[in-house]
């Protein structure tokens, strides 16, 4: 079941796409997952990711983190115009404000009547970076970061990681070059709370549905690891 949610903060209000599990409306509760979008906004790929999580029994919420710049961004990686606009959005995006918005979304998710009060994060690209930063500043119960671009520029925050974090890295990532990946692995690998997975031959955004770099085998492996990780830490106990 799909819907939208309005999240209100002291800085303003923004919308979020919501996909609810089949148990919604029966009185049962479920863990929530905050899905953090890429530079293309809350697009078809993010909505599909939410729908897939809902099919696995989660309340999936994807907040519009670009609301301060331009609400309702919905793009693909298929045209030069979209890629250029995505880069401009990335450059204009306030990471600190984004973390606050994600923290507000986590708080909203915990308070929903259909939530079991456990909340995880799953972020991709820019969203992967935000998943890492939010875990370091405002811990969820578990978090996953797919190919977190520019994470190497924020490794001073690694010591603040307050919950379990899984990171997926592509070995041929054109946006996270080898030296940056080595720095990420060296810094995050010191924490017993972090699991790192590397995918040989894969490029950035290998798990993006219908994306230009999509790799079905690697995406299936990464998504399977993510599902097992989330189920262990959000559904058990």
Residues with active-site annotation: 173, 204
- Cβ contacts of 10 within 8 Å, gap of 6 or more: none
Residue whose tokens read 């939208």: 4
Cβ(171)–Cβ(157) below 8 Å: no
Mind giving me the DSSP string for 129-178?
Answer: HHHHHHHHHS--SEEEEES-TTGGGGGGGGGG--SEEEEEEETT-SSS-H
Q: Take residue 192 and report the two structure tokens written for it.
A: 């017993």
Using CB atoms within 10 Å of the CB of residue 29, give its burial: 0 to 12 exposed, 13 to 18 middle, 19+ buried: middle
CA–CA gap between residue 170 and residue 158 (Å, rounded):
20
Could you give the CA distance from residue 126 to residue 86 in angstroms, rounded to a whole number?
Answer: 11
Name the β-bridge partners of 85. Answer: none
Residue 8: closest CA among 131, 118, 100: 100
| β 59-63/115-124 pair status | unpaired
Which single residue is written with the structure tokens 């923290």? Answer: 103
């Amino acid at each position: 079941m799909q819907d939208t949610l309005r999240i209100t903060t002291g800085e303003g209000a923004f919308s979020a796409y919501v996909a609810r599990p089949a148990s919604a409306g029966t009185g049962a509760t479920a863990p929530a997952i905050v899905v953090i979008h890429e530079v293309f906004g809350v697009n078809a790929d993010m909505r599909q990711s939410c729908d897939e999580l809902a099919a696995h029994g989660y309340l999936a919420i994807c907040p519009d983190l670009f609301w301060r710049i331009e609400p309702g961004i919905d793009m693909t990686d298929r045209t030069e115009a979209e890629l250029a606009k995505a880069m401009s959005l990335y450059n204009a995006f306030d990471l600190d404000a984004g973390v606050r918005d994600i923290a507000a979304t986590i708080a909203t998710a915990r308070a929903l009547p259909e939530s079991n009060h456990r909340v995880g994060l799953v972020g991709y690209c820019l969203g992967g970076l935000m998943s890492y930063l939010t875990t370091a500043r405002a811990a969820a119960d578990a978090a996953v970061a797919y190919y977190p671009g520019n994470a190497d520029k924020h490794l001073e925050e690694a010591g603040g990681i307050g919950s379990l974090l899984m990171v997926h890295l592509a070995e041929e990532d054109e946006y996270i070059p080898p030296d940056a990946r080595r720095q990420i692995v060296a810094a995050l690998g010191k924490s017993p709370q972090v699991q790192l997975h590397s995918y040989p031959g894969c490029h950035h955004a290998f798990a993006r549905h219908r994306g230009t770099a999509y790799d079905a085998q690697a995406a299936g492996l990464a998504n399977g690891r993510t599902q097992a990780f989330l189920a262990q830490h959000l559904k058990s106990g």
